[in-house]
């Protein structure tokens, strides 16, 4: 049976759900699951609607919805089911490994178009899965030059998302703006704790009993973008800083993997610095 998916966000107003469901009913679309949320802080309305039935006249449906909704409403009808992504890496393998294995067995929910790295370290692994690896060194280059090369490599593909799978370079505002709301990062701490470098050393010295990881969209404020997933893992006094790194990698992998699943299934909306997630 045909299934459809509609995503809507707009300013909040009285009667939005009634309006939307009336229009959908007129198009013979039956709602099988509807999630909606009003973010009262920002006065924004968000809806994710699963439908049985095929959208026959997409343009007309969109027009009829827009007619009733507040100005600047954003509507997506049947967004691309299998996202297209690039994965950016440096030297650490754990997030890339998990991603490429899921990809190989068609359970990632996305097609990995390429992997780009500022070191060669992960080339052999990537190519074993028949995925192109672009080596773009940052050495002896300005950030501008480096990112220009990166952009050239990425823009050969029609990408929905760029996944920073332990990519250890800070991206410029221009780069982030170019791929606005499309960049997902995994941060090696329970943000906002341990912002910045060497979080595991900081964590060790602070004597924490839990390590965390945070998957988030990247914005211009470093380590400050909308959080998608946070997870923690217990540690104890027997862990030195090196063992904390090992434990932390497990949770980084797990948090990024869950964030990708949620984003690729169109379950995540961005509302200012926060995310609305219809799990």
Rounded to the nearest 10°, the torsion over CA 197, 229, 129, 150 is: -50
208 binds a copy of itself (CB under 8 A): yes
Stretches 1-9, 75-83, 92-100, 149-157: which one binds a copy of itself (CB under 8 A)? Answer: 92-100
Helix axes 16-26, 58-68, angle to 10 degrees: 150
Instruction: Write each residue from 149 to 168 as x if it is in contact with a copy of itself (CB under 8 A), else as -, in one continuous string.
Output: --------------------
Q: Which of 158, 159, 163, 132 is nearest to 261 (CA)?
A: 163
Range in contact with a copy of itself (rule: CB under 8 A) among 55-63, 151-159, 170-178, 189-197: 189-197
Task: State how far Cα 61 lies from the chain centre.
Answer: 28
Smallest distance from a copy of itself to CB 105, Å: 5
Q: Is 223 among the catalytic positions?
A: yes
The answer to whether residue 119 forms part of the interface with a copy of itself (CB under 8 A) is: no
**Which residues are 19's β-sheet partners?**
none
| Closest C-alpha among 1, 86, 69, 6 to residue 266 | 6
Residue 42 binds to a copy of itself (criterion: CB under 8 A): no
**How far is Cα 64 from Cα 73, in angstroms, rounded to an integer?**
12
Provide the binding-site residues for a copy of itself, judged by CB under 8 A.
14-18, 21-22, 24-25, 30-41, 93-94, 97-98, 101-102, 104-105, 107, 125, 128-129, 190-194, 205-210, 212, 226-232, 236-238, 240, 246, 250, 254, 271, 273-277, 279
């Amino acid at each position: 049976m045909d299934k459809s998916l509609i995503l809507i966000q707009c300013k909040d107003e009285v009667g939005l759900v009634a309006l939307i469901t009336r229009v959908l009913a007129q198009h013979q679309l039956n709602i099988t699951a509807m999630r909606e949320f009003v973010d009262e802080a920002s006065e924004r309305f968000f809806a994710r609607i699963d439908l049985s039935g095929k959208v026959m006249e997409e343009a007309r449906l969109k027009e009829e919805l827009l007619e009733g909704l507040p100005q600047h409403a954003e509507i997506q009808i049947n967004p691309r089911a299998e996202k297209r992504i690039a994965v950016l890496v440096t030297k650490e393998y754990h997030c890339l490994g998990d991603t490429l294995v899921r990809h190989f067995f068609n359970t990632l929910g996305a097609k990995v178009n390429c992997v780009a790295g500022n070191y060669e370290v992960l080339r052999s692994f990537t190519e074993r899965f028949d995925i192109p690896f672009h080596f773009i060194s940052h050495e002896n280059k300005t950030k501008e030059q480096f990112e220009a090369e990166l952009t050239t490599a990425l823009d050969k593909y029609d990408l929905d998302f760029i996944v920073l799978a332990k990519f250890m370079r800070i991206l410029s505002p221009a780069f982030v703006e170019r791929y606005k709301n499309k960049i997902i990062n995994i941060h090696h701490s329970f943000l906002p704790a341990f912002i910045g470098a060497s979080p595991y050393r900081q964590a060790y010295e602070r004597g924490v009993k839990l390590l965390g990881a945070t998957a988030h969209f990247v914005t211009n404020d470093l380590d400050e973008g909308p959080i998608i997933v946070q997870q923690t893992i217990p540690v104890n006094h027997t862990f030195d800083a090196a063992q904390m790194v090992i434990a932390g990698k497990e949770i980084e992998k797990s948090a990024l993997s869950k964030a990708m699943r949620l984003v690729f299934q169109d379950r995540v909306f961005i509302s200012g610095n926060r995310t609305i997630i219809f799990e």
